């Protein structure tokens, strides 16, 4: 015996041959195995193969069935093209067609068709469900009448009873789902160990990745892709989580969120949010509703060389692009504006020193204080020097017309703008028309006053002319009277 043990230890292959030889000898010496009683020509009896106590014991007209194991296909009468391997596999099947069950108590069934069950008690409770695929211990264990479910992995879709069109791949994927709302629940997909494992009701949820949406108990239309993505969500609906741990810390009842990027964690109280990036405390795209930064959109938090960056501190109802940076270090591009024809009622927009956009047409008295006439302030505009020029970064030499800010500052420093370092930057061109208007109104007033003076002088002249005419008439009258009062001339004869 010691020699034999040493030989086995030295050569496992020889041990295998020895075991096979023993097995063959046992089969040769044992009495012939016998299944159920059948007609004399047993080989051609409806293509039946039965091996095991009570295997295929009730068959009548069913054809091409194979039952291997105690009570395998025991109740089958007219069902055909079934394969049952394992004790009590397909035990209750009577009329079901084209089913395959491999494993102890797999797919007990009654008259379901086109089912595949591999593993201990896979699809154990199925009665009439069709087109089921269950692979793994207890996969689809409690499925009764539901059809078109696929469960691969131990305990996958274990508790489902009547819900249809579900796919669970992975250990305990959709394990708790029962989907009792007939005609509503179903159409869920879980790919990954423990994915959607706690879900009991809901429809059209998709979880891909280990522990994806693992805490969800109800909810609809959620999509979660990535390890532990959305794993804290319990009852929310209409969420999309893409990336490792995306939305992992979201509140249990969040809804209507889109989170894209590994490590993009939810913020307590946020809902209706879109987060794109990795760890939104330092970067990414973040669109939030109802959080500390209510109704805000953030895009990145990089430095000036990264193009578009975002204000790190946001106000409510704000869209912030850029971290209060100035050109040429940072740029902002918005498409669909250049050469676009404005609609009626369009407003001009200006940007403040903090990068905030505002409606330039806002001019109501309720927005203003210290209102006073411009008076003589606008007189300096007559000293401005309009010029033509080209921008240095313009290789096309497109002609420009305007003012030089330094020249304008010499006339009035309030008419220019300065950069964040206090250096002269630009001209407040929007003030020029107002200043010109003030000067025009002043000149117009002078013209009106002159017109009034001329009108008065004209009226006086007309009165004077009338008086002169009247005087001339009187003089003429007097002259006529004098002529009439003169004595008649006498004629003297000369001798």
- Flag whether 45 is in a domain: no
- Flag whether 104 is in a domain: no
Residues 234 and 321 in one domain: yes
Predicted local distance difference test score (pLDDT) of residue 197: 96
What are 256's two structure tokens?
A: 């209507």
Q: Is the pLDDT of residue 261 over 90?
A: no
Predicted local distance difference test score (pLDDT) of residue 155: 97
Q: What is the pLDDT of residues 165-221, one digit of tens each?
A: 999 999 999 999 988 776 788 999 999 999 999 999 999 999 999 999 999 999 999
Predicted local distance difference test score (pLDDT) of residue 99: 97
Residues 296 and 391 in one domain: no
Q: How far apart are CA 226 and CA 243, in angstroms?
A: 5
Tell which of 332, 355, 379 closes a domain: 332
Of the listed ranges 91-105, 271-285, 345-359, the one predicted with least confidence: 271-285
Q: State mean pLDDT over 148-153.
A: 96
Q: Is the pLDDT of residue 361 over 80?
A: yes
Q: Is the pLDDT of residue 292 over 60?
A: no
Tell which of 272, 307, 332 closes a domain: 332
Q: Which domain holds residue 271?
A: 222-332
Predicted local distance difference test score (pLDDT) of residue 5: 31
Residues 299 and 396 in one domain: no
Q: What is the pLDDT of residues 56-68, one digit of tens each?
A: 999 999 999 999 9
- Flag whether 436 is in a domain: yes
Of the listed ranges 84-88, 296-300, 348-352, 478-482, the one predicted with least confidence: 296-300
- Flag whether 86 is in a domain: no
Residues 317 and 233 in one domain: yes
Tell which of 332, 351, 380 closes a domain: 332
Of 183, 163, 86, 169, nearest in space to 134 by CA: 169
- Flag whether 481 is in a domain: no
SS (H, E, C) the chain: CHHHHHHHHHCHHHHHHHHHHHHHHHHHHCCCCCCCCCCCCHHHCCCCEEECCCCCCCCCCCCCCEEECCCCCCCCCCCCCCEEECCCCCCCCCCCCCCEEECCCCCCCCCCCCCEEECCCCCCCCCCCCCCEEECCCCCCCCCCCCCCEEECCCCCCCCCCCECCEEECCCCCCCCCCCCCCCCECCEEECCCCCCCCCCCECCEEECCCCCCCCCCCCCCEEECCCCCCCCCCCCCCEEECCCCCCCCCCCCCCCEEECCCCCCCCCCEEEEEECCCCCCCCEEEEECCCCCCEEEECCCCHHHCCCECCCCCCCCEECECCCCCCCCCCCCCCCCCCCCCCCCCCEEECCCCCEEECCCCCHHHCCCCCCCHHHHHHHHHCCCEEECCCCCCCCCCEEECCHHHHHHHCHHHEEECCCCCEEEECHHHHHHHHHHHHHHHHHHHHHHHHHHHHHHHHHHHHHHHHHHHHHHHHHHHHHHHHHCCCCCCCCCC
Residue predicted with more confidence, 425 or 263 = 425
Residue predicted with more confidence, 270 or 108 = 108
Residues 326 and 377 in one domain: no
Q: How far apart are CA 237 and CA 222, in angstroms?
A: 6
What is the band of 285 on the pLDDT scale with cuts at 50, 70, 90?
low
Predicted local distance difference test score (pLDDT) of residue 298: 56
Q: What is the pLDDT of residues 293-306, one digit of tens each?
A: 444 555 554 433 33
What is the band of 326 on the pLDDT scale with cuts at 50, 70, 90?
low
Give the CATH number for residue 442: 1.10.10.10
Residues 435 and 374 in one domain: yes
- Flag whether 108 is in a domain: no
Q: State mean pLDDT over 425-452.
A: 91
Residue predicted with more confidence, 278 or 333 = 333
Q: Is the pLDDT of residue 273 over 60?
A: no
Could you give the number of structural domains in the chain? Answer: 2
What is the band of 469 on the pLDDT scale with cuts at 50, 70, 90?
confident
Residues 235 and 327 in one domain: yes
Average pLDDT in the chain: 81
- Flag whether 138 is in a domain: no
Predicted local distance difference test score (pLDDT) of residue 23: 37
What is the band of 425 on the pLDDT scale with cuts at 50, 70, 90?
very high
Q: State mean pLDDT over 446-475.
A: 87
- Flag whether 110 is in a domain: no
């Amino acid at each position: 015996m010691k020699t034999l043990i040493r030989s086995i230890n030295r050569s496992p292959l020889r041990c295998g041959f020895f075991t096979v030889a023993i097995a063959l000898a046992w089969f040769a010496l044992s009495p012939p195995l016998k299944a159920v009683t059948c007609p004399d020509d047993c080989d051609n009896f409806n293509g039946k193969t039965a091996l095991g106590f009570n295997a295929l014991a009730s068959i009548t007209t069913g054809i091409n069935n194979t039952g291997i194991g105690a009570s395998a296909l025991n109740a089958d009468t007219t069902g055909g093209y079934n394969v049952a391997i394992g004790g009590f596999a397909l035990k209750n099947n009577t009329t079901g067609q084209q089913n395959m069950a491999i494993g102890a108590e797999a797919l007990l069934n009654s008259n379901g068709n086109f089912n595949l069950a591999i593993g201990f008690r896979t699809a154990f409770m199925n009665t009439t469900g069709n087109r089921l695929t269950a692979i793994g211990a207890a996969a689809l264990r409690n499925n009764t009448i539901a059809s078109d479910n696929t469960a691969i992995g131990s305990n996958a879709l274990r508790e489902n009873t009547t819900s249809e069109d579900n796919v669970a791949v992975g250990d305990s994927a959709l394990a708790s789902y029962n989907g009792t709302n007939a005609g509503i629940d179903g159409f869920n997909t879980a790919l990954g160990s423990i994915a959607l494992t706690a879900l009991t009701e809901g429809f059209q949820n998709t979880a891909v990745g280990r522990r994806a949406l693992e805490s969800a108990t109800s909810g609809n239309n959620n999509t979660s892709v990535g390890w532990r993505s959305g794993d804290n969500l319990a009852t929310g609906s209409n969420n999309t989580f893409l990336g490792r741990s995306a939305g992992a810390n979201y509140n249990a009842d969040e809804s209507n969120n889109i989170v894209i990027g590994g490590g993009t964690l939810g913020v307590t109280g946020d809902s209706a949010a879109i987060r794109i990036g990795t760890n939104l405390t330092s970067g990414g795209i973040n669109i939030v509703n109802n959080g500390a930064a209510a109704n805000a959109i953030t895009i990145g938090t990089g430095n000036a060389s990264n193009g578009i960056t975002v204000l790190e501190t946001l106000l409510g109802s704000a869209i912030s692009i850029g971290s209060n940076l100035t050109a040429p270090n940072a740029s902002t591009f918005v498409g669909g504006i250049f050469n676009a024809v404005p609609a009626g009622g369009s407003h001009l927009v200006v940007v403040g020193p903090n990068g905030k956009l505002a409606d330039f047409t806002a001019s109501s008295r309720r927005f203003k204080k210290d209102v006073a006439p411009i008076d003589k302030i606008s007189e300096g505009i007559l000293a401005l020097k309009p010029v033509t020029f080209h921008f240095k970064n313009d290789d096309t030499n497109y002609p420009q017309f305007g003012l030089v800010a330094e020249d304008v500052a010499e006339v009035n420093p309030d008419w220019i703008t300065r950069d964040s370092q206090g250096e002269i930057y630009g001209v407040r061109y929007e003030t020029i028309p107002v200043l010109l208007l003030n000067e025009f109104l002043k000149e117009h007033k002078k013209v009106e006053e002159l017109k009034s003076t001329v009108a008065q002088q004209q009226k006086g002249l007309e009165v004077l002319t009338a008086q002169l005419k009247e005087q001339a008439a009187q003089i003429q009258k007097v002259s006529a009277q004098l002529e009439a009062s003169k004595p008649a001339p006498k004629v003297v004869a000369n001798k």
